[in-house]
Amino acid sequence: MTQKGITLKDVAAAANVSRATAARALNSYGYVGDETALRVLEAAERLGYRANLVAQALRSGQLPIVGFVPGDIQNPFFARIAHDIEVELRKHRHNLLIASSEENVEQEKQLLESLRSLSIRGFILAPTSATDSQHIVQLVSEGTPVVLIDRVVQELQCDSVVVDNEGGAREAVDFLVSNGHERIGLLRDESRIFTAQERLAGYQNSLQSHGIGLDESLVSVSRSTVEHAVDATIRLFSRRNRPTALFTVDSLMTQGALLGLRSMGLSIPNDVSLVGFDDFNLATFTDPQITVVAQPISEIGPLAAKFLLERLAGKKIAPRHIRFPTRLIVRGSVAQLPGR
């Protein structure tokens, strides 16, 4: 039960340390040995000490908060990364504040401006735009540690952790072509974000390498939501001479495509073969299971957090740019066309 009137002085006395050391241990700033910090925290818990550390630290700029600005926190990809970043930061007594840009560059600018006023120590960002990024450039030029994930901005001199989007998309389309498909539809994101453009390039480069011309009537553009992807899928497969196969550029669109095809009475893979970019839980619960391009999602968040923590600790080395390979997981959603 919490005792009233317990002060920092009481905690310091119980832990046999100075008040300054107790404050550093409780506020997670400055250097305190692990054994000493544990002794202070145990004393505070035993005595029921409950200072308003958040308010104190925000005023003093001493609360170790890292900001994470994903494109859309409702996207399972970013939700998993946020979880992994938070787990890694907690190991080092840092806190995570999440603010989604919702893939809107103006909202991203406003969020970063607001978060800077809270003395956020550093940022992990998934930039909304590869071109309209002066606000991030300014952040880096001012010395704020920044790590980019999922997307890069070429002029930024900071660490980045991304995947080979172009290579993954190319491998997916190569696989469809190897199974006899040439009329391969594409369900792609309408945005200009880096990942969307790279995956589009992978689709185009694969077709070109196989001598298949790009047919714009096979491309359906949508916002990256399940609901919009349903509509885009129905539009695409309502056309004459519809595709024999479909490549979707993220997991939300894959789920929308599944619903859209089902609503039209089309069977996977008997009527339409399907490959999606990004693995997702439901991909193995459908019948048939969905062939996907998997990203090493469990590695992205922890590595981004590690890079940022090293920058916060003063590590001065050239920016690191990690590009993970993807992996094609073949399941049951692709049929081989007759004659191949």
Q: Read off the CATH number of the domain in which 146 is found.
A: 3.40.50.2300
Asked if pLDDT for residue 45 goes beyond 70, the answer is yes
CATH of the domain at 34: 1.10.260.40
Whether residue 308 is contained in a domain is answered as yes
Whole-Å CA distances, 331 to 105, 134, 194, 272, 275: 37, 43, 28, 14, 9
Question: Across the chain, what does the average pLDDT equal?
Answer: 90
Sheet holding 184-189, edge to edge: 219-222, 184-189, 245-248, 273-277, 291-294, 327-329
The residues facing 220 across adjacent strands are 187
Res. 23 pLDDT band, cuts 50 70 90: confident
One domain, residues 107 and 174 = no
Asked if pLDDT for residue 30 goes beyond 70, the answer is no
Whether residue 131 is contained in a domain is answered as yes
Whether residue 47 is contained in a domain is answered as yes
pLDDT (0 to 100) of residue 57: 56
The full DSSP string for 288-337 is: SPPEEEE--HHHHHHHHHHHHHHHHTT---PPPEEEE--EEE--SS-PPP
Q: Which two tokens stand for residue 126?
A: 């998934």
Domain that holds residue 109: 65-163+297-325
One domain, residues 277 and 172 = yes
DSSP assignment letter at 121: -
One domain, residues 179 and 290 = yes
Average pLDDT of the residues in 153-171: 94
Res. 106 pLDDT band, cuts 50 70 90: very high
Nearest in space to 82 (alpha carbons), one of 301, 309, 308: 301
Res. 129 pLDDT band, cuts 50 70 90: confident
Of residues 179 and 47, more confidently modeled: 179
- CA 207 to chain centroid, in Å, comes to 28
Average pLDDT of the residues in 250-270: 96
One domain, residues 21 and 101 = no
One domain, residues 156 and 96 = yes
Asked if pLDDT for residue 61 goes beyond 70, the answer is no
Whether residue 332 is contained in a domain is answered as no
One domain, residues 152 and 174 = no
One domain, residues 180 and 215 = yes
One domain, residues 97 and 203 = no
One domain, residues 249 and 170 = yes
Which amino acid is located at 206 in the chain? S
Question: Cβ atoms within 10 A of the Cβ of 327, count?
Answer: 13
Whether residue 2 is contained in a domain is answered as no
The CA distance from 281 to 300, in Å, is 18
One domain, residues 291 and 301 = no
Q: Which of 55-59, 192-196, 327-331 has the lowest mean pLDDT?
A: 55-59
pLDDT (0 to 100) of residue 190: 83
Nearest in space to 114 (alpha carbons), one of 150, 50, 65, 152: 65
Average pLDDT of the residues in 88-107: 92
265's CB contacts (< 8 A; 6+ apart) are: none
One domain, residues 81 and 107 = yes
Whether residue 340 is contained in a domain is answered as no
How many Cα atoms occupy the beta-carbon half-sphere of 28 within 13 Å?
15
The CA distance from 311 to 319, in Å, is 10
Q: Which of 59-73, 85-99, 274-288 has the lowest mean pLDDT?
A: 59-73
The CA distance from 307 to 305, in Å, is 5
Whether residue 337 is contained in a domain is answered as no
Q: Which two tokens stand for residue 10?
A: 């009481």
One domain, residues 134 and 176 = no
Whether residue 336 is contained in a domain is answered as no
What would the pLDDT profile of 209-240 be if each residue is shown by its tens digit?
999 999 999 999 998 899 999 999 999 999 98
Asked if pLDDT for residue 53 goes beyond 60, the answer is no
Q: Which of 51-55, 260-264, 321-325 has the lowest mean pLDDT?
A: 51-55
The helix-helix angle for 34-47 and 8-15 (nearest 10°) equals: 120
Asked if pLDDT for residue 58 goes beyond 70, the answer is no
Average pLDDT of the residues in 256-261: 97
Res. 2 pLDDT band, cuts 50 70 90: very low
What would the pLDDT profile of 324-333 be if each residue is shown by its tens digit?
999 999 999 9
Q: Give the chain's domain count.
A: 3
pLDDT (0 to 100) of residue 89: 95
Of residues 12 and 2, more confidently modeled: 12
Asked if pLDDT for residue 277 goes beyond 60, the answer is yes
Res. 62 pLDDT band, cuts 50 70 90: low
**Phi and psi at residue 189, to the nearest 5°:** -75, 140
